[in-house]
Amino acid sequence: QVQVVESGGGLVQAGGSLRLSCTASGRTFSTYVMSWFRQAPGKEREFVATITRSGSGAYYADSVKGRFTISRDNARNTVYLQMNSLKPEDTAVYFCAGRDAGGLSTRESDHEYWGWGTQVTVSS
């Protein structure tokens, strides 16, 4: 099975930046669409960003468009989420997820592989 581990979360002040990393096991990482989701306390998990298998294309939630950038390094089995101009509303547990088949998707159920999440807290 594929194991996914997120890292890079922490406490940052509003307007600051943070870079999350996600590493996945296996030799087939480049065959997975990779995505980021997040979940704030008392709220449903929501889509943040997703990236194609080659890393040539990406799609973002409107709430993070222009502030966050998703990228990947298939040689390192790693996907990144660069978060700039952070807002208190970005506070959440951020999850990395992988999708085996098909194109980009914003749906949780389309992703088979999940990490346990990393906490991002943005202070006002």
Q: What's the pLDDT score for residue 31?
A: 95
Q: What's the pLDDT score for residue 43?
A: 97
Q: What's the pLDDT score for residue 30?
A: 95
Residue 1 reports pLDDT greater than 90: no
Closest CA to 77 of 28, 23, 114: 23
The predicted model gives 104-116 an average pLDDT of: 96
Q: What is the mean pLDDT of the chain?
A: 97
Closest CA to 90 of 50, 51, 37, 23: 37
DSSP state letter for 31: G
Instruction: Tell me how far CA of residue 55 lies from CA of 2, 11, 58, in angstroms.
Output: 19, 28, 7
